[in-house]
Amino acid sequence: MANEYRMSLSYPNPSLGQIAVTENALEENAPMTTEVIGLRKHSITGPRRVVLVISLLAGLLFSSLDTSIVSTSLVTISHDLDDFTNAPWIVLAYLLTYMGFAVCVSKLSDIYGRRNILVVSWVIFVGFSQGCGSATSMTALVVCRAFQGMGASGLYSLTQIGLVEVGPSHSPSLIGAMIGATLAVAFVLGPIIGGAVSQLSDWRWLFNMNIPFGLFAILAITNLWPHEEVAPFFSWEAFASIDFLGSATLLTSSGFLVFAVQQAGSDTFAWGSPEIISALVISGVSWLVFVWWEVHLETRPLRNIEPIFPIRLMLQRVYSAGLLVTLFTGFPYISLSIVIPERFQIVSREEVLTAGLHILPMLGACAVGSFLGGAISSRRNNTSLTLLGASCLQLLGVGLMSMLTGPDSHSKAQYAFQAIFGLGVGLSFSAATIMTSILAAERSELASAQGAVSQARVLGGCIGLAVCTVIFNSHVNEYLQDHLTSAQLASLHRSPLTSLQLPGHLRDLVRDVYAGAFAEEIKVMMLIDPGANKLVLVLVLGGIFGVSLQASMKEYNGSLADG
């Protein structure tokens, strides 16, 4: 290969699982040109660079923070808006658009410039943050969250590119440390910040606090970003290189699938209703069109359109298996991030802030596992064994947590169970991403390959949340419909906190049923995890990893030795 890479600095995103990669050209004395690293280098020093770096990190912080900050506040928000049934959509809408637009936004920034697309992303994010803070109904809040996720996808993806272009590019380790620290703050402290704001003030400030920081970032980027040569707005040749059909069908297929499962599970529509059947049909057709289109682009390139999904890599058993493991990992991780705080608020009747503190062992262990996974494979490829160990840890952690079934079963041991599971998730995040970096033979494949890993994890989490909704509502309806009136049951679906207004014996019954519903959700996650665990076990013991990665690892280890 004419251009190889000798350094990959990874930093984890515990929500999306995406690990950005900063690459340096291996070829000695080779200039860092756009052709080598695909980036636009700018010589910026002094206070100007400091302000731009702060603005970029602010975008990364707040876009990532909004994926976790609401996890502890869903009960409070749904009680205020009188709609607990659709509360999961506050998270789902954001994650679906956050996932679906990242690749398109990155491509648009190549055409129309980083500054322009960054400013547009900030405007969308800030504008709809204000919309979220002003929402008076769950429908309005969910719609604003979806558009907010579109803006956040640009802030997340372009920050990692922009830091290399206008930041301290001479020190990739510093860039990695800054991004790693920012993401750690966002995902570890997010639930605590969300709980503190909701308890001490108003949940609307979870979204309104984005506004002043966003205005500062817009002002800084608009005035301080260096000049760029960009394509005219109506440059069709450049615009046509974006895989819009792939992005649209991926978002449609994922969105309608999650919609059907969540809405039917929440009893909004019956499983056999025209709405649910139509959603499932649209999802199925969209998946077929998506696969056909991506295969078509791979086999018969069309007008230089770059596919958003690496079909060629899917033919490699290691990558496809890693993608499935990633899907299974997202299922319990994102679900537990919501379920654990809700359980402490609804069953244990704790305050929002206290409920957020209970999830720290899992989030902290996930961050540690992400960095540890990178260290394990820093000198040689240990990703297969790391994935195996990670899957076992996840299975063990979820299995132990499933033993906590009663309303008062919140012993200190659960924190150890959370930490075991979180460590496995973090290790899985790192291993899957490093494996993808090795298997992507060409740099042009790396973005789509890593994007597919992130999308699989988010899709798994979205499906997991939807399935948890089905389990929770089915369990509650089954055990309470003979003891409560229709009006009382409907009131509980709008807000579980209304159970506090029931007579003493009914209040205790509802509490026991809620505890059983949460335990049932975790048991289902325990049934899903062995699928991923067995898959990795077969791959490792069958020697598939060793055979498939042998050539890649010679190149990988050789580049490390040269570095």
Q: What is the DSSP string of 233-272?
A: TT-HHHHTTB-HHHHHHHHHHHHHHHHHHHHHHTTSS-TT
- Residue of 217, 229, 39, 232 whose CA lies nearest to 124: 217
186 — pLDDT class (breaks 50, 70, 90): confident
pLDDT of residue 26: 33
The answer to whether 72 and 194 have CB atoms below 8 angstroms apart is: yes
pLDDT of residue 455: 79
Q: What is the DSSP letter of 403?
A: T
pLDDT of residue 269: 80
Can you name the residues that pair with 23 across neighbouring β-strands? 8
Average pLDDT over residues 12-36: 36
122 — pLDDT class (breaks 50, 70, 90): very high
CA 59 – CA 114 distance, rounded (Å): 13
453-487 pLDDT tens trace: 777 888 888 888 888 888 888 888 888 888 888 88
Least confident of 39-53, 115-129, 208-222, 488-502: 39-53
**Which tops the pLDDT comparison, 66 or 12?**
66
The answer to whether 319 and 435 have CB atoms below 8 angstroms apart is: yes
234 — pLDDT class (breaks 50, 70, 90): low
Q: What is the DSSP letter of 29?
A: T
Q: Strand pairing of 22-25 and 5-9?
A: antiparallel
Tokens of 50: 């400091």
pLDDT of residue 162: 82
* Secondary structure of residue 402 in the 3-state scheme: coil
Mean model confidence pLDDT for the chain: 77
Q: What is the DSSP letter of 226?
A: P
pLDDT of residue 205: 93
**Which tops the pLDDT comparison, 541 or 254?**
254
* Sign, CA torsion 371/372/373/376: positive
CA 147 – CA 94 distance, rounded (Å): 8
CA 146 – CA 131 distance, rounded (Å): 11
- Residue of 188, 203, 292 whose CA lies nearest to 246: 292
Crossing angle of helices 46-68 and 210-224, in 10° steps, is 150
Least confident of 152-166, 492-506, 528-542: 528-542
CA 299 – CA 516 distance, rounded (Å): 51
Least confident of 32-46, 324-338, 440-454: 32-46
Q: Which position has the token pair 């079934």?
A: 405
Q: Which position has the token pair 């325990």?
A: 526
pTM for this entry: 0.79
* Sign, CA torsion 499/500/504/509: positive
The answer to whether 442 and 13 have CB atoms below 8 angstroms apart is: no
